[in-house]
Amino acid sequence: MKPSRREFLSGVGALSLGVLAVGSFPASAQDQEAGVEKLRILFLGGTGFLGPHTIERLTEHGHEVTLFNRGNRAELFPDLELIVGNRITDIEPGLAPLEEAVKAGRRWDAVVDTASVHTWTANSAQVLKDAADHYIYISSLSAYASTAGDGRSEGDALATMPDEVADSIDRLPYDMQYYGAVKARSEAAAEEAFPGKTTVIRPGLIVGPRDYTHRFTYWPARIAEGGEVLAPGAPDDPVMFIDVRDLAAFVVKVIEDDAYGVFNANGPISNDMTIGKLLESCKAETGSDASFTWVDAEFLAQQGIGPWQQMPVWIPPVGEMEGFHKTSVARAAEAGLTIRPVSETIRDTLDWFEGWKTRFSEQTGESFAFGGRRPGVSREQEAEVLKAWHDREDG
């Protein structure tokens, strides 16, 4: 059994939006880079996953950052200017504070928008179209209409949805089968308000420190425990992902370089990462005694184990999902995208996760465990599947 694109996008959306924010974003010890022109940046949101990493890098480079959000996590960046509002326009005060700032003559060199609802981007971009020079929209590789064949490149067709469905979406949650189409409509809304002055970045799976979805974290955490590990598919199945800090650095670079257009952002640039290499890298970095038992997709499905959710990062490279982990990032690489070694991502993610687990337990009174509604499988479920696999082999 293979996941359909519709089923997959529903899973992507659930994981992308199911974030528990525990703890604050650590301050950086890096020095401000010299020789970079100081820019005024407006960040719409900025308190989730990518936002704080990007804002930290912007401030490291000496740029002046203004935030527009609901003010729920103002403690993340207490020293930055905050305009409190809401991108859902019928929830007070809506966009009125931003509109007032524009009427008062405020201008920004660039706007960064990570919205997951196209009407949010459309409304914000219209307010800002005469008050900013550059609009950067963070989209998704899910915006493409197809993941079949040899992968996705910037000129490929985008996902669509009926107008009557689009008109009914103005907030979260919504039917996540339309997530890609919502992202595509958001791109179009940005370009409509900022013709020729828009940059669209389409990342794949974003991973690394402060990822409260734990979609990648499962593997270094599980492998660090050692023992027999349930491994999905075949070791040479391709996988791609991008460290949030590399994505943040690229966002800042396109702002500083005035780079416009559409860029896929994923890693590695060499496009040679596999699930086998990822798991072996986790073993090497953690120094564990883990051993991997590779179980094919058909048997996993029979056991109720699916890709992406129960077996994070991995998607069987067959059928309509064949090209999911085969994305061209050549254009972004030419524009300056760089990808750090996977060992660094593994190490830093695991270090962050260990501290986060402690805070999680202190705040909730529970011990964090993978599986169930969370990514990965529980140790009990893993043992059951491994036993069934070995019994099948013995039989």
Give the tens place of pLDDT for each residue, 264-283.
999 999 999 999 999 999 99
Q: What percent of the chain has pLDDT over 90?
A: 88
pLDDT at 395 over 70: no
pLDDT at 181 over 80: yes
206-255 pLDDT, tens digit per residue, is 999 999 999 999 999 999 999 999 999 999 999 999 999 999 999 999 99
Helix orientation angle between 342-364 and 275-286, rounded to the nearest 10 degrees: 70
Answer with the residue of higher pLDDT: 13 or 294. Answer: 294
Question: CA 146 to CA 5: how far, in whole Å?
Answer: 8
pLDDT at 12 over 70: no
pLDDT at 4 over 70: no
pLDDT at 19 over 80: no
* Domains of the chain and any CATH numbers: 5-394 (3.40.50.720)
Tokens of 122: 């459309």
- Close Cβ partners of 341 (under 8 Å, ≥ 6 residues apart): none
pLDDT at 13 over 90: no
pLDDT band at 338 (very low <50, low <70, confident <90, very high): very high
Nearest-Å Rg of the Cα atoms of the chain is 21
Which 3 state secondary structure label does DSSP give 265?
Answer: strand
Answer with the residue of higher pLDDT: 393 or 20. Answer: 393
Quick one: pLDDT at residue 7?
53
Tokens of 70: 């609901």
pLDDT band at 3 (very low <50, low <70, confident <90, very high): low
Quick one: pLDDT at residue 303?
96
Rounded average pLDDT over 9-31: 41
φ, ψ for residue 114 (rounded to 5)? Answer: -115, 20
H/E stretch holding 228 reads: strand 228-232
The single residue listed with the structure tokens 């949805």 is: 161
What is the distance between the terminal CA atoms of the chain, rounded to a whole angstrom?
Answer: 23
pLDDT at 1 over 50: no
pTM across the whole model? 0.91
